[in-house]
C-alpha cells in the first residue's frame, strides 16, 4: 500500500468508477492500435489510475512514462458509451506524476522549467524568441545551415526536431488586428483569442478570423499581448500554472471588452486550445474570486466554426477556380469539443472548393501538443499514416483547425516533397470574402 496521490485521490470517485471495461475505446486508441498492449489503452490506464487513487498501487517511474505515452487525443471519450471523463483523470494523473517527481532528471527539469514554466508564462519573452527565429529564417541562415548539413552537429534529439521548426511570421497578431474593430452592421459583440504559438506562426489566421467575424456583423475585441491559454501547462501536470494562465486571460478579456457580460461569445480558432479554454469553469471552480467569472467565460467560449454555425454561416458571392480540399480533424476539436460538422460546412461554403473526405480524418496526426517532441518515434508513425491517407484523396489543399496539427502536417509534407497547402478552414472563407469584395468594387477584376 502507498500514500494516495493528491489529485487522483481528490477526484469525485464516480469519475473513476465510470469505466465499464467494455473495450469500445480500444480500436480508437492510436497507442493501443500500435502496440496491442492493454496498459497502452485507455482502459488499462484507467485501471492504473484507479489503483493509485485507492492507494493499492505505488506511483512509479513506469506509471509516469505510461501516462506520458498517452497522446491525450480523447478519441476514447468519443467512443465511450458510459461517458467516461478521461481528460479529467489524465490531467490529474500527470499532475500527481510531477508532484511525486518520479520522472525528474536534470535535463528534463531544465527543459520543463525553460519552456513550460518560463517562456510560456511570459508572452513578451515568447515573442522576443519568435522575433529571433524570424530573423534567423528571413536572412537565409536557416537555409544555409540546412544546405551545409550543419544540423548534423546538433545532439540527436535536437537534430530530429529541427525539421519541425515552423516559419515565424513577420507581423504578430497585435500588429494585424486592432483592439476593437467594428463592422458597418453591428449584430454581435465577440472577444477574439489569438493564442501563443498561433500568434507567432499563424498570425494571418487570426487576421482571417477577425475578417470573417466582421463579415458576419460581429464587433471584435482582441486583447493586447495575450497569454498562453494554459493547455500546455494542464496537459503536462502543471495545474496551478494552468489556473494562473486562465486568470490572466479572463482579466485581459474583461479589460478589453468592459466585462464578459457585454460579449455574446469568446472566439478561439485553435482546436487544442479551445478544448482547454472551455474548461476554465472547472479549472477555477474553487477560486472564490474567479469561479463565477470562469463560468461565464466557459459558457461564452466558442470555436470559430461553431460560432458561425450558431449565428448563420454566410456564403461569399464570388467565383473561384475549382480546387480539391480535404479536412483533417483536430483531436481536441472533434473529440474534446465535439465540433465535427461546422468546419466542413465552412469549407462547403467556399465557392470553387470540392471537399473530399479524408480517410481516418479524426485519427491523430501525432502532434498532440508537444507529443511530437517528447515521443518522436510514435508521432512519426502517426504522421506517416496521416500522410498516406492524405495522398489517397488527391487534394491540393488540406484544411486543419489547429496550429499544432498544421505544423506537423507541413513538416511531413515538406520532408516528403509534396506541394500540398495546409490552411485553416476560416482562412479559405476569408479569402473568398476578399475576392467577393474585390469583384464588387471592380467588376472587371473577376473576369
pLDDT in tens, 224-259: 989 999 999 999 999 999 999 999 999 999 999 999
Asked whether the beta carbons of 361 and 425 are under 8 A apart, the reply is no
Confidence of residue 440 (pLDDT cuts 50, 70, 90): low
Class of 6-100 per CATH? mainly alpha
Q: Could you tell me whether strands 301-303 and 265-268 are parallel, antiparallel, or unpaired per DSSP bridges?
A: parallel
Ranges for all domains in the chain classified under CATH 3.40.50: 323-437
Asked whether the beta carbons of 390 and 420 are under 8 A apart, the reply is yes
CATH of region 323-437, choose from 1.10.287, 3.40.50, 3.30.70, 3.30.43: 3.40.50
Residue 297 in this model has a pLDDT that exceeds 90: yes
Q: How far apart are the C-alpha atoms of 270 and 405, rounded to whole Å?
A: 10
Q: Is pTM beyond 0.85 here?
A: yes
Residue 181 in this model has a pLDDT that exceeds 80: yes
Confidence of residue 447 (pLDDT cuts 50, 70, 90): very low
Confidence of residue 209 (pLDDT cuts 50, 70, 90): very high
Q: What is the mean pLDDT of residues 331-353?
A: 96
Q: What is the mean pLDDT of residues 268-292?
A: 96
Residue 323 in this model has a pLDDT that exceeds 90: yes
Percent of the chain with pLDDT over 90: 81
Residue 60 in this model has a pLDDT that exceeds 60: yes
Handedness of CA 358, 363, 368, 371 (dihedral sign): negative
On average, the pLDDT of the chain sits at 92
Strands of 218-221's sheet in order across: 180-181, 218-221, 188-192, 265-268, 301-303
352: nearest Cα among 293, 267, 429, 249: 429
Residue 213 in this model has a pLDDT that exceeds 80: yes
Ranges for all domains in the chain classified under CATH 1.10.1060.10: 6-100
Instruction: Give, as one character, the DSSP assignment of residue 18.
Output: -
Amino acid at each position: 500500500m502507498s500514500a494516495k496521490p493528491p489529485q487522483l485521490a481528490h477526484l469525485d470517485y464516480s469519475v473513476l468508477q465510470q469505466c465499464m471495461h467494455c473495450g469500445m475505446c480500444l480500436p480508437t486508441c492510436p497507442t493501443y492500435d500500435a502496440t496491442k498492449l492493454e496498459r497502452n489503452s485507455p482502459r488499462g490506464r484507467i485501471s492504473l489510475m484507479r489503483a493509485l487513487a485507492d492507494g493499492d498501487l505505488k506511483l512509479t517511474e513506469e506509471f509516469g512514462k505510461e501516462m506520458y505515452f498517452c497522446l491525450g487525443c480523447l478519441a476514447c471519450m468519443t467512443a465511450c458509451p458510459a461517458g467516461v471523463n478521461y481528460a479529467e483523470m489524465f490531467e490529474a494523473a500527470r499532475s500527481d506524476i510531477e508532484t511525486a517527481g518520479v520522472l525528474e532528471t536534470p535535463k528534463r527539469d531544465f527543459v520543463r522549467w525553460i519552456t513550460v514554466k518560463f517562456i510560456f508564462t511570459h508572452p513578451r519573452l515568447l515573442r522576443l524568441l519568435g522575433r529571433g527565429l524570424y530573423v534567423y529564417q528571413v536572412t537565409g541562415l536557416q537555409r544555409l545551415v540546412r544546405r551545409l548539413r550543419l544540423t548534423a552537429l546538433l545532439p540527436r534529439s535536437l537534430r530530429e526536431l529541427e525539421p519541425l521548426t515552423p516559419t515565424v511570421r513577420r507581423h504578430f497578431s497585435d500588429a494585424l488586428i486592432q483592439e476593437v474593430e467594428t463592422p458597418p452592421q453591428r449584430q454581435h459583440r465577440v472577444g477574439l483569442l489569438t493564442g501563443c504559438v498561433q500568434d507567432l506562426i499563424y498570425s494571418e489566421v487570426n487576421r482571417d478570423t477577425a475578417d470573417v467575424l466582421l463579415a458576419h456583423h460581429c464587433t471584435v475585441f482582441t486583447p493586447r499581448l495575450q497569454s498562453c491559454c494554459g493547455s500546455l501547462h494542464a496537459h503536462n501536470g502543471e495545474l496551478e500554472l494552468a489556473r494562473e494562465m486562465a486568470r490572466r486571460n479572463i482579466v485581459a478579456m474583461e479589460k478589453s471588452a468592459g466585462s464578459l457580460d457585454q460579449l455574446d461569445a469568446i472566439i478561439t480558432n485553435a482546436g487544442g486550445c479551445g478544448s482547454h479554454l472551455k474548461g476554465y469553469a472547472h479549472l477555477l471552480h474553487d477560486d472564490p474570486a474567479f469561479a463565477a467569472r470562469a463560468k461565464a467565460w466557459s459558457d461564452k467560449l466558442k470555436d470559430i466554426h461553431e460560432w458561425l454555425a450558431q449565428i448563420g454561416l454566410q456564403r461569399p458571392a464570388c467565383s473561384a477556380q475549382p480546387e480539391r480540399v480535404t479536412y483533417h480533424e483536430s483531436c481536441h476539436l472533434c473529440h474534446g469539443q465535439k465540433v465535427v460538422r461546422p468546419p466542413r460546412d465552412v469549407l462547403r461554403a467556399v465557392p470553387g472548393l470540392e471537399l473530399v473526405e479524408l480517410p481516418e480524418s479524426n485519427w491523430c496526426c501525432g502532434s498532440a501538443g508537444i507529443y511530437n517532441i517528447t515521443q518522436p518515434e510514435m508521432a512519426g508513425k502517426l504522421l506517416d499514416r496521416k500522410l498516406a491517407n492524405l495522398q489517397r484523396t488527391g487534394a491540393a489543399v488540406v484544411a486543419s483547425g489547429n496550429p499544432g496539427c498544421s505544423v506537423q502536417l507541413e513538416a511531413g509534407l515538406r520532408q516528403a516533397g509534396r506541394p500540398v497547402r495546409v490552411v485553416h478552414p476560416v482562412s479559405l472563407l476569408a479569402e473568398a470574402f476578399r475576392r467577393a469584395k474585390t469583384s464588387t468594387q471592380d467588376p472587371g477584376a473577376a473576369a
